[in-house]
Amino acid sequence: MSVLSRLLPRRPGAALVVEPMRRRHVAGVMEIEQVSYPKPWTASVFQTELGMAARGERVYLVARDGGQVVGYAGMMLAVDEAHVTNIAVVPTARQGGLGTRLLAELAWAAIQRGCTGLTLEVRVSNHAAQALYAAFGFEAAGIRQRYYENTEDAIVMWRHGILDDDFRALLRRLSPEAGR
Ligand X SMILES: CC(C)(COP(=O)(O)OP(=O)(O)OC[C@H]1O[C@@H](n2cnc3c(N)ncnc32)[C@H](O)[C@@H]1OP(=O)(O)O)[C@@H](O)C(=O)NCCC(=O)NCCS
Residue numbers annotated as active site: 121, 133
One-letter amino acid of 149? E
Comparing CB distances to ligand X, the nearer of 84 and 111 is 84
Restricted to residues 101-160, the positions that interact with ligand X (CB under 6 A) are 122, 126-129, 131-132, 135
Position among 2, 5, 95, 150 found at the interface with ligand X (CB under 6 A): 95
Count the residues of the shown chain that bind ligand X, applying the rule CB under 6 A. 19
> Which residues, listed in sequence order, are joined to residue 73 by a DSSP beta bridge?
61, 87
Indicate whether 172 belongs to the interface with ligand X (CB under 6 A).
no
Among 155, 124, 159, smallest CA distance to 142 is for 155
Q: Identify the DSSP state of 41.
A: P
β-pairing verdict for 117-123 and 81-89: parallel
Spell out where 40-180 has E strands.
58-65, 68-77, 81-89, 117-123, 139-148, 152-160
Position among 18, 25, 28, 36 found at the interface with ligand X (CB under 6 A): 36
Chain residue at closest Cβ approach to ligand X: 99
Binding site for ligand X (CB under 6 A): 36, 87-89, 94-100, 122, 126-129, 131-132, 135
